[in-house]
Amino acid sequence: MTLCESFETGTAGAAPDANTWSVGGPNCFDGTGKAVIDNTQAHSGGRSVRIDPGTSYCGHAFIINQAVASMGPVVYARFYVRLAQVLGDPHVTLVSMHDAIASTSSSVQDLRMGGQSSILMWNRSKDDATLPSLSPTGIAASVKLPAATWTCIEFGLDSAMGTMQTWVNGNLVAGMALDTVQTPDIDASWLGSMPTWVPKVSDLKIGWESYGGSTNTVWIDDVALGTSRVGCSP
Ligand code: CA
């Protein structure tokens, strides 16, 4: 695997290993959001990373790894997340990845996985498109994340094929799948808005970012990257 991180070598209260992770956020970072090793919650072993976001957009906090920049067109990721509170209606982000297609030298854009309308969904910052569309049918095609429970999230990106897949606790999420055929309520708007866009990313950021003042506490554990599906462990 390209990356396999259980945070077990970290020190509670300190930032995760600086050889693997930086802490920050795209566009701005005011330092009010924190990302530290926590020994009170863990999916594996005795430690995880806890995100304590600030209340503003620039109070976002992510742990950031650059390994995907040197991977090929196929990137699979797996991580476990534990939310203090369920996802609400306002838009928030849990995973943000530098969008190598939509970004320019003067405009940073990200491919983001997070919540809106209480479900897990993808968002492309360039045009604010969502996957699925936030119609009743689109919303019903995704899932809600429970509070105070470790949830396994996996995704696969293929920038050569232009496809994305997403799994929650091992189950494919139909509404969070991108292919090259426009499916109403799923990827029709996403494809229609930017027909030549493909999921080519150059970093992996996991944490919390909020656009409507929503706050939460987020724990992250067992982060893995590979060129084939990693899968969930018990
Ligand atoms: Ca751990």
Ligand 1: centre distance to CA 213 (Å): 29
For residues 173-191, give the mean pLDDT. 98
- Report pLDDT digits (tens) over 100-143: 999 999 999 999 999 999 999 999 999 999 999 999 999 999 99
How far apart are the CA of 170 and the centre of ligand 1, in A? 19
| DSSP code string of 118-167 | TEEEEEETTTTEEES-SSHHHHHTS-PPPBSS-EEEEEEEETTTTEEEEE
Number of Cβ within a 10 Å radius of residue 89: 13
pLDDT at 234 over 70: no
What are the C-alpha distances in Å from 174 to residues 42, 50, 141, 143, 170? Answer: 29, 29, 6, 9, 12
Amino acid in position 190: W
The one-character DSSP state at 16 is P
What is the 63 CA–ligand 1 centroid distance (Å)?
15
User: How far is the C-alpha of 169 from the C-alpha of 215, rounded, in Å?
Assistant: 24
Q: Is 19 exposed, middle or buried (0-12, 13-18, 19+ CB in 10 A)?
A: exposed
Average pLDDT, the chain: 97
Cα(179) to ligand 1 centroid in Å equals: 34
Cα 22 to ligand 1 centre (Å): 18
pLDDT at 55: 85
Q: How far, in Å, is the centroid of ligand 1 from the Cα of 29?
A: 26
The string of pLDDT tens digits covering residues 5-26 is 999 999 999 999 999 999 999 9
Q: How far is CA 27 from the centre of its chain?
A: 17
Instruction: Give 190 Cα–ligand 1 centroid separation in angstroms.
Output: 35
Instruction: Return the pLDDT at 233.
Output: 83
Q: Which two tokens stand for residue 77?
A: 């990721």
Q: Which pLDDT score is estimated for 67?
A: 97
Ligand 1 midpoint to CA 38 (Å): 9
